[in-house]
Amino acid sequence: MKQVIMGNHALSYGAMLSRVQVIAAYPITPQTQVVELLSEMCADKTLDAEFIKVESEHSAMAACIGASAVGARTFTATSAQGLALMHEMIHWAVGARLPVVLGNINRAMGPPWTIWTDQNDSLSQRDTGCLQFYARSNQEVLDSVIQMFKVCEQILLPGMIILDAFALSHTSEVVDVPDQKLVDKYLPPFHPRYILDPKEPHTFGGLTGPDGYYELRYKIEEAIQRAKSLINETGKEFGELFGRAYGMVEKYKLDDAETVLIASSTIASTARIAIDELQNEGKSVGLLRVRVFRPFPAEEIRELLQSRKKVAVIDRNISFGHEGIFAQEIRSSLYNCKNKPPIWGYITGIGGRDVTVENIKDIVNDTIKSDKPSGDIIWKGVRL
């Protein structure tokens, strides 16, 4: 059924349709509507779940971990400072191999206090082993929650659905809220083999020395690598059932474009209009959206970017002391390729500054015009 809903409610509906059993969350702007709606759903029994109103985000993830360890499907949502506070427990969910799913509203980190979007909060979780899907529409937010459970419960790792503060979280869009029966067909109940069960007692996470730890980490990498094909397969299956397919990346008018623009989140939505206009101007440009950041779509990047003339990457984030994080990941993916294109790494839109069609066109034109990048970082829109 089509409804006009904000991105935050798309997260709530995604969780509801996934039949989550335990929710633990703590309020933070701009996430609050996610948990407000879920509280109402639990209260009026449209969702048969326990909602633990915890005293911190750290405890939110910890409670989800406890619930997941007994075999319940669990969900939480947060943003920025809250995600940073969760960090230790995201590592814990990964190490304990518990498929907790969370929504994170991208919000810039303080200080100074701010509530507008950029990606530094979620990208700071890069090395935990938690999956990261960056959505570009409210529809994708809802669909990604359901897909994330399906993927995470097979590989036993947590996953994060990420959406821009305000640009998605508080913006209403038309969203097709799928039929519960169809979702049930797609997403089976969560029945992990090993749980905390007095009938079959095990200790989980006991002290492990150098003789065992290394292999456990190897197995996490093995699992997250497996997620790559699973994301493409389950995304395709999603398309067959619901008419909307998803993959690790999304191509837009890419074909044999000489210059490829790479973007993520809502910037990738705005970029579609920029690409349309640039193509109308006769320029050979196309768009590649990185939807899944962890696991990183290195194979797709290599396949789609080799032999292109130029690549422009937009980062709404910065790894201080180095460069934009998507640019960095794309460069390293291509490094061993024979025909690697030069990469222009642009940083823009930090702290929620608007990124318009004109801004994106300016970035692409800059790439087309220049022979080589002016530096590892090319700043756009910063008032120098």
Partner 1 sequence: MERGKTMKLSIPEEELVGSGHLACQGCGATLCMRYALKALGQNTILDIPACCWSVIDGPFPHTSVKVPLFHTAFETAACVASGIRAGLDVLGRGETNVVAWAGDGGTFDIGIQALSGATERNDNIIYICYDNEAYMNTGIQRSSATPYGAWTTTTPVKHFKKMPKKDLVRIMAAHRIPYTATASVGYPEDFIAKVKKAKEIQGTTFLHIFSPCPPGWKSQPEKSIQLARLAVSTCYFPVYEIENGEKYTVNKVIKKPRPVKEFLEQQGRFRHLTEEQVNGIQKNVIVSYNELLKKAGLDLEVHVEIKK
Partner 2 sequence: MAKGKIIYKRAKDIPLNAMSVGSMLFNKTGAWRNVKPIIDYDNCIKCMICWKFCPDICIVIEDENPVIDYDYCKGCAVCVVECPKKCISLVEEGR
49 binds partner 1 per the rule CB under 8 A: yes
Looking at 218, 236, 303, 356, which residue binds partner 2 (CB under 8 A)? Answer: 218
Pair of tokens at residue 262? 């790479």
CA distance 266 to 282: 25
Q: Are 152 and 101 in contact (CB under 8 A)?
A: yes
Out of 180, 216, 332, 370, the only residue in the binding site for partner 2 (CB under 8 A) is 216
Residue 22 contact partner, candidates partner 2, partner 1, none, CB within 5 to 8 A by sort of partner: partner 1
With binding defined as CB under 8 A, does residue 97 bind partner 2?
yes
Binding mask 108-147 for partner 1 (x = CB under 8 A): ----------------------------------------
95 binding partner 2? (CB under 8 A): yes
Measured CA angle at 298 (ends 7, 213), to 5 deg: 90
Question: Stretches 5-13, 43-51, 130-138, 373-381: which one binds partner 1 (CB under 8 A)?
Answer: 43-51
Q: Which of 111, 112, 201, 321 binds partner 1 (CB under 8 A)?
A: 201
Which of 56, 172, 208, 374 contacts partner 2 by CB under 8 A?
A: 208
- For residue 247, count other CB atoms closer than 10 A to its CB: 19
Bridge partners (DSSP) listed for residue 24: 52
Comparing CA positions, the residue from 105, 123, 113 lying closest to residue 10 is 105
Considering only residues 110, 188, 205, 375, which one is a binding residue for partner 1 as defined by CB under 8 A? 205
Closer residue to partner 2 in complex, CB, 188/212: 212
Binding partner at 209 among partner 1, partner 2, none, C-beta below 5 to 8 Å by kind:
partner 1
Joined tokens for residue 163: 């959406």
Q: Is the dihedral of CA 175, 143, 267, 233 positive or negative?
A: negative
65 binds partner 1 (CB under 8 A): yes
Does residue number 194 form part of the binding site for partner 2 (CB under 8 A)? yes
CB of 19 to partner 1, least distance (A): 11
The full length of the chain comes to 384
Q: Closest approach of Cβ 25 to partner 1, in Å?
A: 12
- Residue 33 near residue 8 (C-beta atoms within 8 A): yes
Q: Are 349 and 265 in contact (CB under 8 A)?
A: no
Return the one option of partner 1, partner 2, none that residue 156 interacts with (CB less than 5 to 8 A, by type).
partner 2
Minimal distance in Å, beta carbon 112 to partner 1?
Answer: 26
- As a whole number of angstroms, the distance between CA 357 and CA 275 comes to 9
Binding track over 148-167 against partner 2, x by CB under 8 A: --------x-----------
For the stretch 299-303, contacts whose Cβ atoms lie closer than 8 Å and that sit 24 or more positions apart, written own/partner, are: 299/228, 300/247, 300/248, 300/249, 301/249, 301/330, 301/333, 301/334, 302/333, 302/334, 302/337
- Residue 181 neighbours by CB under 8 Å, 6+ apart: none
Q: Does 214 bind partner 1 (CB under 8 A)?
A: no
From first CA to last CA, the distance across the chain in angstroms is: 48
Please, what is the minimum distance in Å from the beta carbon of residue 46 to partner 1?
A: 15
**Site for partner 2, rule CB under 8 A:** 95-98, 156, 194, 202-206, 208, 211-212, 215-216, 218-220, 223
